[in-house]
């Protein structure tokens, strides 16, 4: 696997590259946000937020707009609101400095395992429909009330999970395990953030909260 490591701290770069190479990864380095945005051919991005030229959040957002390649953010900001906002921008996971190398490798492998397990070809020609909602699994196109809806990769994954069995109640634990990871270490608040975002982009009544249990997709009846 080819990793793009976006980091400008020389005291971190070399030991990190050496350690990742020992774990079997190919490592491409970028010391600036501009270099990260110009890079290509990688399978995962390890993105430090403290870059000399661009705000790391901007880099994260632009990388996500360009592709579905997984992004792990490295941040010194430990407040939950910062972590949640990063996940909203499209990051798949994050680590907080200082971090242990084994923890970092475990997170990289977990994210790669999730993405490699996805088999879009098996969904070729498939479409999920529920009233006003339609999801083309082959092209990942979502329409609601016959208008296209732009979703982040994680919003799409969450919607597809709920849409595969409309009206079925999914617990928070089931959703986190299926859409994020069974070993997810982040705050479950991120689930609420993504649910709120889907409601905003689709309609407030599309996803129903079942108090004390979880969520379910309604059948989205026509207006």
CATH number for the domain including 193? 1.10.10.10
Question: Which pLDDT score, from 0 to 100, does residue 119 have?
Answer: 44
Distance between CA 182 and CA 180 in Å, rounded?
7
Question: Which pLDDT score, from 0 to 100, does residue 82 have?
Answer: 64
The parent domain of residue 203 ranges over 121-217
CATH number for the domain including 14? 3.40.50.2300
Whether the Cβ atoms of residue 46 and residue 5 lie closer than 8 Å to each other = yes
96 & 32 share domain: yes
Q: Has residue 223 been placed in a domain?
A: no
Which residue, among 210, 178, 208, 185, has the nearest Cα to 195 in the 3D structure? 208
Last residue of a domain, one of 88, 117, 146: 117
**For the chain, what is the domain count?**
2
Last residue of a domain, one of 117, 132, 165: 117
185 & 134 share domain: yes
50 & 104 share domain: yes
This prediction's pTM: 0.59
Distance between CA 177 and CA 171 in Å, rounded?
10
146 & 93 share domain: no
Q: Provide the residue-wise pLDDT of the chain in tens; the chain has 223 residues.
A: 899 999 998 888 999 999 999 999 999 999 999 999 999 989 999 999 889 999 988 999 899 888 888 999 988 766 655 667 777 778 888 888 888 898 899 889 888 877 665 544 444 447 888 888 999 988 889 999 989 999 888 888 899 989 988 888 999 888 887 887 655 545 567 888 899 999 999 999 899 999 988 999 987 554 4
Question: Which pLDDT score, from 0 to 100, does residue 172 have?
Answer: 87
113 & 125 share domain: no
Q: Which residues contact 21 (CB under 8 A, 6 or more apart)?
A: 27
30 & 95 share domain: yes
108 & 35 share domain: yes
Tokens of residue 61, six digits: 């957002």
Q: Has residue 150 been placed in a domain?
A: yes
134 & 63 share domain: no
112 & 126 share domain: no
């Amino acid at each position: 696997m080819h990793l793009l490591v976006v980091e400008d701290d020389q005291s971190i770069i070399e030991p990190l590259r050496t350690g990742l190479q020992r774990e079997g990864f190919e490592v491409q380095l970028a010391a600036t946000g501009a270099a990260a945005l110009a890079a290509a051919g990688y399978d995962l991005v390890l993105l430090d937020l403290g870059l000399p030229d661009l705000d790391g959040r901007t880099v994260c957002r632009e990388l996500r707009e360009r592709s579905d390649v997984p992004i792990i953010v490295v941040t010194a900001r430990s407040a939950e609101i910062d972590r949640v906002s990063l996940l909203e921008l499209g990051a798949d996971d994050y680590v907080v400095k200082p971090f242990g190398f084994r923890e970092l490798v475990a997170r990289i492998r977990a994210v790669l395992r999730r993405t490699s397990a996805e088999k879009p070809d098996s969904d070729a020609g498939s479409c999920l429909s529920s009233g006003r909602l339609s999801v083309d699994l082959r092209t990942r196109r979502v329409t609601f009330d016959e208008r296209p809806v732009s979703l982040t990769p994680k919003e799409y994954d969450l919607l597809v999970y709920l849409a595969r069995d409309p009206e079925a109640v999914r617990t928070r634990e089931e959703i986190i395990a299926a859409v994020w990871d069974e070993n997810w270490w982040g705050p479950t608040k991120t689930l609420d953030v993504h649910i709120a975002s889907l409601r905003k982009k689709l309609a407030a009544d599309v996803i129903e909260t079942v108090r004390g249990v979880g969520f379910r997709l309604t059948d989205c009846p026509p207006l």
